[in-house]
Structure 1
């Protein structure tokens, strides 16, 4: 299993934007992302560090693998 880096909420949002997700709105400390006809929405906490478990959950909810996420970071 690939180890995920510690990223800020804004950095996580940038990676998901590279993967085709768009910022729909921000409510409080959470940034909501949507993607076309995708049923799921992603709620990314706008914190200094997003916990690795939370990030792994967001990646799974987006329907991608950790490897795809890490390659989009580069």
Structure 2
């Protein structure tokens, strides 16, 4: 049975505990970078995200020009 965001009763509970991205449901988003880097779950997630960006060649890391603002990504 497939997960459905429209009808939670259709979700297969066994799927919630599988995969490399299993984190407790009670985990909250960190308030900033410093608090994220102190939590092993978030550092693992950040490492996974950077690795995926590099492997998929999604973006290039370049030096920031001093006269430009940094644009975040999510």
Q: By the TM > 0.5 criterion, same fold?
A: no
TM-score normalised by structure 1 residue count: 0.24
More strand by percentage: 1
Structure showing greater radius of gyration is 2
TM-score by length of 2: 0.24
